[in-house]
Amino acid sequence: MLRPLPRTPSRLNRTEMSFRDKIWQINWSLITVLTAIAGVGFATLYSAAQGSMEPWAFKQMIRFAIGIGLMISVAMVDLRFWMRHAYTLYAIAFILLVLVELKGTIGMGAQRWIDLGFIQLQPSEIMKIALILSLARYFHGAGQQEIGRPIFLIPPLIMVFAPAILVLKQPDLGTAMMLVMSSGALFFMAGVRMWKFVVVIAGGMGAVPVAWQFLREYQRKRVLIFLNPEDDPLGAGYHITQSKIALGSGGLFGKGYMMGTQSRLNFLPEKQTDFIFTMFAEEWGMMGGLVLLGLYALLLAYGYAIAIRCRSQFGRLVAHGIATTFFLYFFINTAMVMGLVPVVGVPLPLISYGGTAMLSLLVGWGLVMSAYIHRDTPISRRGMGDD
């Protein structure tokens, strides 16, 4: 008669993990994909500066190096720490948003930044990560019966719409939309019933005429130009018109590295930030664009796979939230430059020039990595390890 094998304690199933265990569990494949995407960004920024590391490529490399260090540091921290301090991080991000409203730096007609001297801090980017953490903590351990009560959903709805309204006042329609949409994905993953989404969406559609009155003039123009770009091809429709010309001229395989005419002759606006995908596609064509989108898809696959493997609800929701936010970044940006959605100023993740967006995204992926490293660590509703 066969006796069952004795149960041996597993390193990964222990409540506490050693530093060596955590290093061993780092997902270097995920870091490789992140580095490959960032490398595409460095090369594109070098091309945007017409063969110079200044003023964009070198600074972006420094930020990425710092960001990777931050990402690994965040990943090594116990996931329960991030759960216990989720509300504190949310409060800090919210206070920073209020400070932007009071003393923020104005740039390109918007008040979105706090000048720290060495970096222009954009608190709305920090809020994207803090909001995911706080919602994941709120829904962690909640039963279906709790989630089914409408009153239970009031606090997280306030957590979502309070910062979204502040961001909308900056004005930053794109980021406000991302806060709401990524939060909606978390609500869905937490188990909120579909009929409640239908009610909220229906209410939102009914409020469109009212919201239209509160939009600024340039925002209204963006919507109208999206519906008919030919109405003002040299004014409000100039950006999207030039973007479509550059995308079309790239053809199947592109014009070649540093050979894009629309970007080099400065017809393409904001080629280092919002419209960098257009510049990349003009040089590398549709095939190059598909390769880049493939790298993004691979990164998403890692994120959602990690979410599925997490034992704790908090870890699953954090990984899902970060992966969904990342998806919204590149989906909205690429759809925007193709004229499929209005121009809302959302950067292409890890490629567009910018400090706060890159650092916050890498910190977000650090949280995903932390969820992976601590995927077998049980977490109670208070953020402590279960016995």
Which residues, including other chains, have CB under 8 Å from residue 258's CB and lie 6 or more apart? 47, 50, 51, 264, 283
Amino acid letter for position 269 = P
Helix, strand, coil percent values for the chain (each to nearest 5): 70, 5, 30
> How far apart, in whole angstroms, are the C-alpha atoms of residue 250 and residue 282?
4
Residue 167, token pair as written in the block: 């961001």
Share of the chain above pLDDT 70, in %: 90
Amino acid letter for position 138 = Y
Q: What is the pLDDT of residue 10?
A: 42
Q: Quick check: is 150 in a domain?
A: yes
Query: Does the N-terminal peptide bond of residue 55 adopt cis geometry, omega within 30 degrees of 0?
Result: yes
Q: What is the pLDDT of residue 21?
A: 83
Give CA 19 to chain center in angstroms.
29
Residue 278, token pair as written in the block: 């257009």
8 A C-beta contact, residue 29 and residue 357:
no
Digit-coded pLDDT (tens) for 245-282: 999 999 999 999 999 888 777 788 888 888 999 999 99
Question: First vs last Cα of the chain: how many Å apart?
Answer: 33
Lowest average pLDDT, out of 93-97, 171-175, 262-266, 366-370, goes to 262-266
Q: What is the pLDDT of residue 228?
A: 75
How many Cα atoms are found within 13 Å in the side-chain-facing hemisphere of 314? Answer: 29
* Domains contained in the chain, number: 1
8 A C-beta contact, residue 260 and residue 280:
no
> How far apart, in whole angstroms, are the C-alpha atoms of residue 346 and residue 330?
8
Amino acid letter for position 274 = D
Is the C-alpha dihedral spanning 87, 185, 178, 263 positive or negative? positive
> How far apart, in whole angstroms, are the C-alpha atoms of residue 44 and residue 351?
8
Digit-coded pLDDT (tens) for 154-187: 999 999 999 998 998 887 888 998 999 999 999 9
> How far apart, in whole angstroms, are the C-alpha atoms of residue 302 and residue 26?
13
> How far apart, in whole angstroms, are the C-alpha atoms of residue 280 and residue 64?
19
Give SS3 for 106.
Answer: strand
Q: Quick check: is 156 in a domain?
A: yes
Q: Quick check: is 386 in a domain?
A: no
Q: Quick check: is 211 in a domain?
A: yes
Q: Quick check: is 16 in a domain?
A: no
Q: How many residues are listed for the chain in this entry?
A: 387
Residue 50, token pair as written in the block: 């017409």
Is the C-alpha dihedral spanning 176, 179, 181, 187 positive or negative? negative
Digit-coded pLDDT (tens) for 353-365: 988 889 999 999 9
8 A C-beta contact, residue 77 and residue 366:
no
Range of the domain at 208: 26-374
> How far apart, in whole angstroms, are the C-alpha atoms of residue 129 and residue 338?
27
Higher-confidence residue of 266 and 314: namely 314
Q: Quick check: is 6 in a domain?
A: no
Digit-coded pLDDT (tens) for 189-235: 998 988 888 888 887 787 777 777 767 777 777 777 777 766 767 66
Q: Quick check: is 18 in a domain?
A: no
- The Cβ of residue 208 has, within 10 Å, a number of other Cβ atoms equal to 8
Q: Quick check: is 56 in a domain?
A: yes
8 A C-beta contact, residue 163 and residue 179:
yes
Lowest average pLDDT, out of 6-10, 30-34, 305-309, 311-315, goes to 6-10
Residue 72, token pair as written in the block: 């690994």
Q: What is the pLDDT of residue 111?
A: 67
Give SS3 for 382.
Answer: coil
Strand partners, 186: none
Higher-confidence residue of 282 and 111: namely 282
Q: What is the pLDDT of residue 23?
A: 87
Q: What is the pLDDT of residue 383?
A: 57
